[in-house]
Amino acid sequence: MPRKLISDPVIVLERVSRTFDQKCVVDGVSLAIGRGSGFGLLGSNGAGKSTTLKMIYGSLRPSAGRILVNGMDVVRQPRQVRRQLGIVPQDDLLDSDLGVYDNLLFHARYAGISGRKAHLRAQQLLESMELDSYADMMIGQLSSGLRRRLVLARALLCAPLILVLDEPTRGLDRDSRQLYLDKLRQLKGEGMTLLVATHLAEELEAVCDRAAIMDQGRLVENGSFSDICKVAERHNIPMSEGRAAPC
C-alpha cells in the first residue's frame, strides 16, 4: 500500500526494532504520525503494539532504528521527550493508599508541579473527567471506568502535546467505554495528538484518522481508518467485543 506523506509529523519511527533474548518482537517498523491527529496501532495481543509504545515513551530502548518525538531523539533526549507525552498504560498503577484527589497531587509533585498550581490543576482535571464528586474516595472504592478516567486525568497533568494510550478501555462496559472515547475525541478536537494501541477497531473509529495493523511485530497495513477496516478481519481483529469488522 503506498504511504501518504505526513507534512507535519510529530512522531517518526525509522526502521525500529526490538529484540528480547534473540527474539524480534518489533521488526523494522517505520511510520509517521501527524501533529494534532489521531493514530491507531491495531493488532491482536502479542502483535508488538505495547513494545512499540514503550519505545516511543522511553521505557524500552530500541535495538535498532530511530524514534523522534517533536523532533527530539527518544534515546538521546529522554527527559525532553517525556515532557511532551502523557502516558495511559494498560495497568492503572494508582496508589491505593491515597484518595482520588491525593493521587493527582502526588503525581503533580512528581512531575514538578507544586503548591497552588498543583491543586488548581488537579481540581480542573477532576471536573473535566467528571470525577470531582469522587475526589475523597479511595482507589479501591472506584469502578473500573472511574479508575481509567483517573489514569487519563493523571496523564494530562502536564498538559502534554501527545497522549499515548495502551488498550485504554480494557475492562470497561459499553457505557463507560463510550464516555471514555468521548473524552478522547474532545481532547483531539482541542488539538492534542493521540496515539492509541488496541485490539478493537471500534476504539480507533471513534478517535483516529489513520491507523496501522501490527502482526508478529511488523506493520502489515497502514492507511486511513476505512482502509484498515477493510482488511482487519483478515488479521483476526474484531470491530468490537464479540463482533467482527464489518467492512
Q: What is the pLDDT of residues 119-148, one digit of tens each?
A: 999 999 999 999 999 999 999 999 999 999
* Mean pLDDT of the residues in the chain: 89
pLDDT at 25: 96
User: Residue 2 pLDDT more than 50?
Assistant: no
Confidence of residue 3 (pLDDT cuts 50, 70, 90): very low
Q: What percentage of the chain carries pLDDT values higher than 70?
A: 90
Q: How far is residue 140's CA from residue 61's CA, in Å, rounded to a whole number?
A: 34
- C-alpha distances (whole Å) from 154 to each of 92, 147, 223 are 10, 10, 31
Q: What percentage of the chain carries pLDDT values higher than 90?
A: 68
Q: Cell numbers 491543586 label which residue?
A: 119
Q: Say which CATH superfamily domain 9-95+160-244 falls into.
A: P-loop containing nucleotide triphosphate hydrolases (3.40.50.300)
Tens digit of each residue's pLDDT (9 = 90 or more) over 219-234: 988 888 777 777 766 7
Higher pLDDT, 7 or 193: 193
Cβ neighbours for 246, distance < 8 A, ≥ 6 positions apart: 229, 239
Mean pLDDT for the stretch of residues 7-32: 94
Strands 210-215 and 38-42: what pairing? parallel
8-state DSSP, 3 = P
Q: How many CB atoms lie within 10 A of CB 166?
A: 21
Which residues face 38 on adjacent strands?
A: 194
- Residues 107 and 72 sit within 8 Å (Cβ to Cβ): no
Burial of 124 (0-12, 13-18, 19+ CB in 10 A): middle
pLDDT at 7: 63
User: Residue 238 pLDDT more than 70?
Assistant: no
User: Residue 173 pLDDT more than 50?
Assistant: yes
pLDDT at 239: 54
Tens digit of each residue's pLDDT (9 = 90 or more) over 84-123: 999 999 988 899 999 999 999 999 988 889 899 999 999 9
pLDDT at 1: 39
8-state DSSP, 99 = B
Give CA 188 to chain center in angstroms.
Answer: 12
Continuous segment of H or E residues that includes residue 184: helix 174-189
Give CA 6 to chain center in angstroms.
Answer: 20
Q: How far is residue 239's CA from residue 127's CA, in Å, rounded to a whole number?
A: 31
- Residues 98 and 137 sit within 8 Å (Cβ to Cβ): no
Q: How far is residue 193's CA from residue 123's CA, in Å, rounded to a whole number?
A: 23
Nearest to 198 by CA among 38, 48, 42, 56: 42
- Residues 13 and 29 sit within 8 Å (Cβ to Cβ): yes
